[in-house]
Amino acid sequence: MRKGQALALVNVAASFWVDWDKQTFVAPRIGLGAVAPKVIRASQAEAFLEGRKITPEIMAEAGGVAVNDAKPISDFRASAGYRRNLVAVLTKRALEGAYALAQAKR
């Protein structure tokens, strides 16, 4: 059992539909937690992804765009800069995971 609170440094969730004929993102949604006073959507990253080809490079670029939506703070758990780096990395991973799931269920 844990002694104390378990608080996230950053969390990211992603979902989207896939246009299998064009291999593009449709209606992408990205949620960011622990980088603002409440859970927020990475609307700039969502707009960036809409209609784009699904590639690892585009997913990584979307992570960089998602950083612009985050407003992290520095505290004793992590600096704001570290949290921004996590947003970029975790956004890419969340998109990759969602795409892998879509491919498996296809």
Kindly report, residue by residue over 69-78, the tens digit of the pLDDT.
999 989 888 9
Given a contact cutoff of 8 angstroms between Cβ atoms, the answer to whether 62 and 49 are in contact is yes
Given a contact cutoff of 8 angstroms between Cβ atoms, the answer to whether 25 and 51 are in contact is yes
* C-alpha neighbours within 13 Å on the C-beta side of residue 74: 4
Q: Where are the domains of the chain?
A: 13-99
What is the structure's pLDDT at 72? Answer: 92
Q: Global pTM?
A: 0.92
Given a contact cutoff of 8 angstroms between Cβ atoms, the answer to whether 95 and 14 are in contact is yes
CATH topology of domain 13-99: Enolase-like; domain 1 (3.30.390)
Distance CA 54, CA 100 (A): 11
What is the structure's pLDDT at 86? Answer: 97
